[in-house]
């Protein structure tokens, strides 16, 4: 389960056996939500935040931060997905300490 970012205590990661559409999971203290990236002609045209079956969704504050983060880092997230699942490269986790806007 490659961890790709840590942001304000939220771990943003892939599971090793992921499937399309490209998406990431946000985990925080036993809670989990995911963000699906809708791509058209190579561009991210939408990000859909969804619940994960069998998991409690991120609390309101963390969900808001998760949404802001995936919007701001969508290009980097998609590139990490491609690097990991298509090119089989190892992924380095980046820890982001301050709030993104």
Question: pTM of the entire structure?
Answer: 0.92
pLDDT tens for each residue of 13-49: 998 777 778 999 999 999 999 999 999 999 999 999 9
pLDDT tens for each residue of 44-87: 999 999 999 999 999 999 999 999 999 999 999 999 999 999 99
3-state secondary structure 51-73: ECCCCECCCHHHHHHHHHHHHHC
Peptide bond before residue 20 is cis, with ω within 30 degrees of 0: no
């Amino acid at each position: 389960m490659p961890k790709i970012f840590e942001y304000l205590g939220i771990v943003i990661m892939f599971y090793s056996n992921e499937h399309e559409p490209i998406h990431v999971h946000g985990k925080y203290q036993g809670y989990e939500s995911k963000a699906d990236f809708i791509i058209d002609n190579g561009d991210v045209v939408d990000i859909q935040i969804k619940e994960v079956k069998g998991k409690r969704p991120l609390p309101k504050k963390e969900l808001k931060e998760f949404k802001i983060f995936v919007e701001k880092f969508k290009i980097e997230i998609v590139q990490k997905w491609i690097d990991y699942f298509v090119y089989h490269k190892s992924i380095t986790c980046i820890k982001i300490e301050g709030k993104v806007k």
